[in-house]
Structure 1
Amino acid sequence: MSHSSRREALKKLAVGSLGFAGAGTLSSFAVEDEKLRNNINHSVCYWTHNFLSLDELCVLVKKIGFNAIDLLTPKEWPTVQKHGITCSMCYTTGKISLTEGWIDQKNHEWLIKDYLEAIPLVAAAGYKNLICFSGNRKGMDEETGLQNMTNGIKQIIGLAEKHGVIIQIEVFNSKVNHPDYMADNTRWTIELCKRIGSPNFKILYDIYHMQISEGDIISTIQKNHQYFGHYHTAGVPGRHEINETQELYYPAIMKAIAATGYTGFVAQEYMPTGKTKEEKIAALKKAVKICDV
């Protein structure tokens, strides 16, 4: 898989469902059972850890001591449900595009249809977070993007409020991974939240992406945490492990998040660099422990 973005994983998803190998093969991987502090609700993104089958990943996260996996489609929910794992951030049932999003009115017809279908499904499954994307600018100015996305989201937000589902726009950097993406800063997305004016619309604050886009991570969280409904992690530069090889100090960031009273999920979304499954599994365990403040 390319290290550049989630886009390649979504292309594979469109072709067909990812194969699930037997969970029993995980028994050879040594993972100690250590009780977590539970000040942070941990999760992990499947697309960055699909060197394991989804069944295997479910077994692993339970061994590490948490019970959530991010960024799953409805057809993958039954797999995590049989393991007692929650989906901490959901996709819709239809087309998933990071570049064709809500800022373009031409996309509103299919987006509104997909979200009106997905919102009740998310709620019925006992989940509450449903991701969305601004899409690429393609020459569009920020004000037009704000107006278009506000108008579109307002056509689905009432249903989200009724079902207790939170629609979350993910922020990406446009410098390295997602050129031309409009929601590449907190200023624009906070203004979007204000215009939509609903507690059921929030920002998926990706720490990796915002370190590249604007930095000032802890201060941004302290000042704007009321708009942030979910967090993603990864190391900068490179989008790899959140260990001592990169520039962010995640224990301090996690303490800042916990200090806001946040009770949602923090999902690991780094690209593992290990050559073996054992190395990659050890890295996930270490990442969770780093964030377990």
Structure 2
Amino acid sequence: MSTTFDRRTAIKGILAGTVTFGIPSDLLAFADSPKAFKLNLNTLKGKINHSVARWCFSDFDIETLCVEAKKIGITGIDLVGPNDWPILKKHNLVSTMCNGAELNLVDGFNDQKFHEQLIKNYTEMIPLVAKAGYKNLICFSGNKRGKTDEEGWNNCVLGLQKLIPIAEKHQVTLVMELLNSKIDHKDYQCDKTSWGVELAKRINSENFKLLYDIYHMQIDEGDVIRTIRENHKYIAHYHTGGVPGRNEIDETQELNYSTIMKAIAATGFTGFVGQEFIPKQKDKIASLKKAIEICDI
């Protein structure tokens, strides 16, 4: 992943509303080309529900991303907050993994000093998610900062259990993302599937699950397909990304995403798989189209 453009800085810019993106000239050329991609949603096989992470395509304004994503057959956008929900609704797309209640990726539920603000944020956001008709709201463990696993679990349970009754009432699922601590998110605590699953068992609610990021977990633990098969009941959402580098998920990287999608589908999963890779190719929409083709098993 580039050190000059990563998820943390992209989301910060989107949430802060400090950047206004125009339509890049290469996208306009793509749209005007007689070879422009016009795949109809009905041509997809339907075994996987497809979404795309907003931050990875922040070169495009949200309206443009919605238009192009829908042409490909994508039905949802990940990591979009309330300000952009009306645009998604305009295009009949779903906010598949809502955000906006978290503080950031490093200050999370594993530290009690953040609980007061987090509980306030999530208490306000959960009803908004439900009112909009959406189901998933992202959350993070935060960094260890010297905490043991047991301390992290205990603190997360203490904070999250105050929110679970609200989530259950509104039928919203709080989804904690698994992030690698080896390369991209040093010291992040929920960096292994086993850690997240243990937390889910302690919380013991269908309204708390995990976001299994395939890219991150390939880096920190590998054994992707077996892990999915054994822990799928704790997983609400998946993210993709080419390893190494979090770029295109094609033959330039090490994971066989078609086979991984078959394993996900075999578990009976009915949620979304979100494309969360940073395109290296000039034609970013073509890269997204190819990723959907790879995952359309």
Q: Shorter-chain-normalised TM-score: which range?
A: over 0.9
**1:10 corresponds to which residue?**
11
Are residues 266 and 86 of structure 1, via their aligned partners in 2, closer, same or farther at CA, if it must alter by over 3 Å? same
TM-score (norm 1): 0.94
8 Å CA contact 1:242, 1:270 repeated in 2:
yes
Q: CA 1:17/1:80 → structure 2, altered by over 3 Å: closer, same or farther? A: farther
In 2, the alpha carbon distance for the partners of 1:63 and 1:3 equals 30
The equivalences for 1:1-293 within 5 A come to 2=3, 5-16=6-17, 18-19=19-20, 21=22, 25=28, 27-28=31-32, 30-34=36-40, 35-92=43-100, 94=101, 96-275=103-282, 279-293=283-297
Moved over 6 A (4+): none
Distance in 1 of aligned mates of 2:295 and 2:68:
17
Q: Could you tell me whether the CA contact under 8 Å between 1:31 and 1:63 is conserved in 2? A: yes
Query: One-letter code of the match for 1:56?
Result: T
Distance in 1 (CA, whole Å) between partners of 2:21 and 2:255 is: 34
Deviations 1:145-176 (A, max 9, x none): 00000010000011101111000000000000
**RMSD in angstroms over aligned alpha carbons?**
1.8
How much does 1:96 deviate?
Answer: 3.2
* Offset at residue 11 of structure 1 (A): 2.5
Please give the alpha-carbon distance, in whole angstroms, between the structure 2 residues aligned to 1:136 and 1:166: 22
**How far 1:78 sits from its partner (Å)?**
1.1
Letter in 2 for 1:290: I
- Counterparts of 2:146 and 2:244 in 1: how far apart (Å)? 28
* Identical-residue share of aligned pairs (%): 53
Change over 3 Å in CA distance of 1:177–1:68 after alignment to 2: same
Deviation at 1:79, TM superposition (A): 1.3
- Please, which runs of 5 or more residues in structure 1 have no aligned partner? none
Q: Whole-Å Cα distance in 2 between the matches of residues 215 and 104 of structure 1?
A: 28
CA distance, structure 2, for counterparts of residue 96 and residue 153 of structure 1: 15
Determine if contact 2:23/2:60 at 8 Å carries over to the other structure.
Answer: no
CA distance in 2, matches of 1:166, 1:284: 27
The DSSP-based 3-state class of the residue aligned with 2:189 is: coil
Q: Distance in 2 between matches of 1:223 and 1:5?
A: 31
- Once residues 74 and 274 of structure 2 are traced to their aligned partners in structure 1, the CA distance between those partners, rounded to angstroms, is 11
Q: Secondary structure at the match of 2:77?
A: strand
The answer (yes or no) to whether the contact 2:22–2:59 under 8 Å persists in 1 is: no
Alpha-carbon distance in structure 1 between the residues aligned to 2:19 and 2:257: 31
Distance 1:64 1:240 in 2: 19
Mapped contact 1:237–1:246 kept (Cα < 8 A): yes
Deviations 1:165-208 (CA, angstroms, capped at 9, x unpaired) = 00000000000000000000011110000000000100000000
CA spacing shift, 1:18–1:38, aligned 2, 3 Å: farther
How many residues are aligned here?
A: 289
User: Which TM-score applies when normalising by structure 2?
Assistant: 0.93
The letter for the 1-side match of 2:135 is K
User: How many angstroms apart in 1 are the aligned matches of 2:278 and 2:147?
Assistant: 31
Structure 1 CA distance for aligned equivalents of residues 45 and 237 of structure 2? 19
- Using the TM superposition, give the Cα deviation of residue 28 of structure 1 relative to its aligned residue in structure 2, in angstroms: 2.2
Q: CA deviation at 1:14?
A: 4.5
| Residue aligned with 2:246, SS | coil
Shift of the 6–22 alpha-carbon distance from structure 1 to 2, 3 Å rule, reads closer
Deviation (angstroms), 1:66: 2.2
List runs of 5+ in structure 2 lacking aligned partners: none
Taking the aligned partners of 2:79 and 2:12, their CA distance within structure 1 comes to 14
Letter of the 1:13 partner, please give it.
I
**Cα separation, 2, equivalents of 1:5 and 1:181:** 16
